[in-house]
Chain A
Amino acid sequence: MLEIDQAMIQWRSDWRARVPSMNEEVLDEMECHLRDSILLKLRDGIDSTTAIEEAMAEFGSTTELVDEFEQVPLETVPWWPVKPVRTLLLCVGLAAIVLITQAPHDGNSSLLIRGHVGLVAFGYAAAAGVGILSLLFLGCRLVSDPLPGQKRTFCGSSQLLCRIAAIALLVGVALGVVLLFASGSAYAWMTSRNGAVIIVLGWALFMSTRFRVEQIRDVHLSSLAGLAANITVVYGCYGPVMAHPASVVGMAIMLTILISHAVMALSAFAPANCLSEWMD
């Protein structure tokens, strides 16, 4: 068995050396095949070295396989939930910006505060968009597993929304820090409870995992990170946000993010097509 394990490790490293972008799931699948083939030969009484060599030879040449895999079209296929989510985000973003810039402010209001609030709100809206997309993805998956191309569209759109959220939040937080130094008070943060650092670290964790999303299992992992990040955000911002006139909208966005990431993380355990199979 040790010899087979070593042969498989060597075989995988050869593949990675030849095709660095090779999907790990495909390698897993092919390794399963080789192991089955080797085990069958061992049962027939063939010694392990010969069994491994024969199984590899029967599997075929790597060069030919690489050519075949390159011919598999890896296109993105339109997936309907992406359009309404993008439109919704655009509307929310514009509405937030207009509301904040046009609404009457008290004496302490300044361009810095409005910029900070506007960008952070937009960043959260973008993150909520990721969450809504995740929920729609899960809903679709329960009925009919999306095509690989549709999954790529979902991953790509999710990545794009995360980049928007990351940039908006980063600039928004930077303005908040400038505000802190300028006025000595942190807007909408209860530093006594956890502080901005935890929130920023949580978000950095979420964003860093989301940026690597290439496969659906990455989405589940990043959703777990997103869940952890958003728990800190809700915990840290609950008090100040509830005191703000737009508290209901703020909390609704936060809860959407929180719930959607929790559901998406849990969806890893929900079998695809289970609803349609149940209905059949």
Chain B
Amino acid sequence: MSSQKAIRITKDLVAASSVPLILAILAEEENYGYAILKRVRELSGGQVAWSEGMLYPLLHRLEERGLIRSRSVRSKSGPPRKFYALNRKGQQHLDSARVQWRLINNTLERAWMLGHA
């Protein structure tokens, strides 16, 4: 766990960034809900903390849109584990989102530089 305190991200920003973030994590490898959340924490250095349960409606929404697919894998203890993977449509969506977020990020960086100049 990071010693830094988790920053409370506004709901709007979470909603906007969660889809490309999840798609990017799934582009790395097939994964399940808990591991996706752990990866989010790792990538943010423990500073981005979502309400854990909220991940699941989002994953289901992405699956409904055909961006990701799922499969159930039997578990030795407890119920079957559901793994998610990126679809071709999801990869295209991620590529497009990456370009858009880079543009927004660069624009914001420049805008903040102006404020400090």
Q: How far is the CB of A57 from chain B (nearest CB, A)?
A: 10
Interface size for chain A: under 10, 10 to 19, 20 to 34, or 35 or more residues? 20 to 34
Tell me whether A32 and B78 are in contact in the complex, defined as CB-CB below 8 angstroms, given that A60-B52, A69-B57 are known contacts: yes
Q: Which of A1-50 contact B (CB under 8 A)?
A: 8, 25-33, 35-37
- Residue pair B34, A32 in contact (C-beta under 8 Å): yes
Residues of B with C-beta under 8 A to A149 = 64
- Residue pair B71, A271 in contact (C-beta under 8 Å): yes
Tell me whether A37 and B34 are in contact in the complex, defined as CB-CB below 8 angstroms, given that A28-B79, A32-B78 are known contacts: yes
- Residue pair B56, A32 in contact (C-beta under 8 Å): no
Q: Which of these, A29, A58, A71, A145, contacts B56 with CB under 8 Å?
A: A29
List 18 other contacts, CB 8 Å, given A32-B34, A69-B60.
A25-B82, A29-B79, A29-B81, A32-B32, A32-B79, A32-B81, A33-B52, A33-B53, A33-B56, A59-B52, A60-B53, A65-B56, A65-B57, A71-B57, A72-B57, A73-B61, A75-B64, A149-B64
Q: Which residue of A lies closest to B50 (CB)?
A: A60
Q: How far is the CB of B67 from chain A (nearest CB, A)?
A: 10
Q: Given the complex of chains A and B, what is the CA–CA distance between A145 and B85 in angstroms?
A: 12
- Residue pair A147, B66 in contact (C-beta under 8 Å): yes
- A157 in the interface, Cβ–Cβ < 8 Å? no
Q: Which residue of A lies closest to B51 (CB)?
A: A60
A-B residue pairs in contact (CB < 8 Å), sample of 9: A26-B56, A32-B34, A65-B56, A69-B56, A69-B57, A72-B61, A73-B64, A147-B64, A273-B69
- Residue pair A36, B34 in contact (C-beta under 8 Å): yes
**Of A29, A36, A74, A272, which is in contact with the most chain B CB atoms at under 10 Å from its CB?**
A29
